[in-house]
A and B are shown apart, each in its own frame.
Chain A
Amino acid sequence: MTVKIRLTSQVILPLLGAACVLVLWAIVSAAVAPDLPSPIRTWQESRRYVLEPFFKDGEMNQGMGRLAFYSLVRVGKGFALALAIGTPIGFLLGLSRPFHQSFDPIVQFMRPISPLAWLPLGLVIFQKSEPAAIFTIALCAMWPTVINTAVGVRSISQEYLNVGRVLKLSRLKMLTRIIIPATLPYVFTGYRLSLGLAWLVIVASEMLTGTPGVGGFLWQEYNSLVYSHIILSVLTIGAIGFLLDRLMGLVEARVRAN
């Protein structure tokens, strides 16, 4: 009984939803936008990129696996940088009132700035596209980590702090034994949201810098009028983003369970 219900809710209905979107896509390409490739044409023109994911004919003509790998490495670097900067800032914001009063307005100010705005600045600073892309990813992705960490520190239960006070723990022990472990679930929620943002930014940064990767490929194929490959790139970006979120979700659940 329960197995049957799960088959319906987790397999049949999601497939039905996907089928609806495919039909809609076919109708739009047939009736409304003739330049938009149909689902079948998209598959025919993309199959090599999917079925031979690691071929390489040139810098910008490679299998999806290779392109995705470049993008993932870039996102990984930017994400790591975002965590390395964002986590301590978050702890400082949560722990120190003067620090909070000094820097919280700046955080709130910088948070809504789009990656498109940071990238040219990154190019000016670094003169090269690769570090500029990583700079942009880090700068856009770090805010959820900063904010969640700060909120986590401020919502530590007074009962845990009281244990530390009664034991007269040193500042270091208070931090390592109580404050950091109590904040960890919030920190990892921040990490998950940051990773989502980092992946969101990759396309914009690769488009503008023209570096090889899924986003760079997308932009190049638009310029070469191979529209089916735009759709291929979009689907790849979506699939990887989904997998990344699931992966971080698992990590987060593990941390929360402890």
Chain B
Amino acid sequence: MAYLEVRGLRKAYATRRGRTAVLGGVDLTLDEGEFVAVVGYSGSGKTTLVSLIGGLIAPDAGDVQLDGVPVTEPGPERGIVFQQYSLLPWLSVRDNVALAVDAVNPGMAAAERRRMTDEFIALVNLTPAAWKRPRELSGGMRQRVADARGLAMRPKLLLMDEPFSALDALTRATLQDELLKIWGQRRSTVILITNDVDEAILLADRIYPMTPGPDAVLGPAIEVGLPRPRQRRHMSLEPAYQKARQALVEFLRACR
């Protein structure tokens, strides 16, 4: 049995015009320490998938098991980096991260928790801005806070819901490189949701394309054969990159 098992997930929402079937039986497996991306068009149900794996909503059918335990409710072992950051605007950068550190380490000494909080803030290069409020930060810095908070939960699985979609291209590239570096050090298990094909190839070991909804499903996984550590600069010239990109784009075009 795989580390994460997602089997036959279905979810429909009641709307004014009747039911909208968002997910039509999603299957996905993930090994420990793997970085997997789910790529699909906007509005195809990617956020719904995150909410289901995160346990924020319940599926109509199917189930999710993480490390042999069925998911029935949200919890910090499935850390979520939300699409709209969802930082608490009344807390400083530090307190936003500390909220997560304190929540998952209740037995730890206060000094140790402080040290750990500082460590996660330093990891995303935000030490100079630690006492600022989210509204004083740029989009890229807010994203870093959200990343730090997600990592601070020390989750078994980190769910990242289109984390860089609201950023300008240059900032996005910087943050992708940072994430690549952090992941290289920590080898967390990650599901990255994105609509950016190149982002998925740069970061992931394996990519699931998602068909556009309604009744969205995941296509067959595409392995990214690029060796790590990866470098953005040379990547597009590698045959493995071109192969993965072609397979992905072809699948997404065909099911459109």
Residues of chain A touching chain B, judged by Cβ–Cβ distance below 8 Å, are: 159-160, 162-163, 165-169, 173, 177-178, 181-182, 184, 258
Contacts and interface: CB of A to CB of B under 8 A. Distances in A.
B61 interface: no
Contact of A166 (B56, B84, B89): B56
Interface SS majority for chain B: loop
Nearest to B149: A163
B1 to A, nearest CB: 25
Contacts of B99: 163, 167, 169, 177
Given A162-B82, A167-B104, A167-B153, A178 B76 contact: no
Contacts of B74: 162, 165-166, 168
5 contacts: A163-B88, A166-B56, A166-B75, A166-B78, A167-B104
Interface in B87-111: 88-91, 99-100, 103-104
B35 to A, nearest CB: 20
Contact of B56 (A160, A162, A173): A162
B69 to A, nearest CB: 14
Nearest to A258: B90
B79 A166 contact: yes
Contact of B88 (A165, A168, A177, A184): A177
Given A160-B88, A168-B76, A169-B99, 17 more contacts: A159-B82, A159-B86, A160-B86, A162-B82, A165-B73, A165-B74, A166-B54, A166-B56, A166-B74, A166-B153, A167-B99, A167-B100, A168-B74, A168-B103, A177-B88, A184-B90, A258-B89
Contacts of B66: none
Contacts, number: 51
B117 to A, nearest CB: 14
A168 B155 CA distance: 13
A143 B84 CA distance: 35
B80 interface: yes
Contacts of A169: 99, 103
Contacts of A182: 90
Nearest to A184: B90
Counting contact residues on chain B (CB < 8 A from A), the size range is 20 to 34
Interface of B: 54, 56, 73-76, 78-80, 82, 84, 86, 88-91, 99-100, 103-104, 133, 153
Going nearest first, the 8 A-B pairs with the smallest beta carbon separation are A167-B103, A181-B90, A159-B86, A165-B74, A166-B74, A163-B86, A166-B80, A167-B76
| Of B79, B90, B153, most A-chain CB atoms within 10 Å | B90
A160 B91 CA distance: 12
Contacts of B54: 166
Nearest to B82: A159
A160 B96 CA distance: 11
Contacts of A184: 90
| Of A166, A169, A173, most B-chain CB atoms within 10 Å | A166
A165 to B, nearest CB: 4
B91 to A, nearest CB: 8
A139 to B, nearest CB: 32
A173 to B, nearest CB: 8
A152 to B, nearest CB: 13
B76 A159 contact: no
A177 B86 CA distance: 14
A168 B75 CA distance: 6
A137 to B, nearest CB: 31
Contacts of A258: 89-90, 133
Contacts of B86: 159-160, 162-163
| Of A168, A169, A178, most B-chain CB atoms within 10 Å | A168
A182 B91 CA distance: 11
A222 to B, nearest CB: 49
Contacts of A177: 88, 91, 99
A168 B84 CA distance: 20
A136 to B, nearest CB: 35
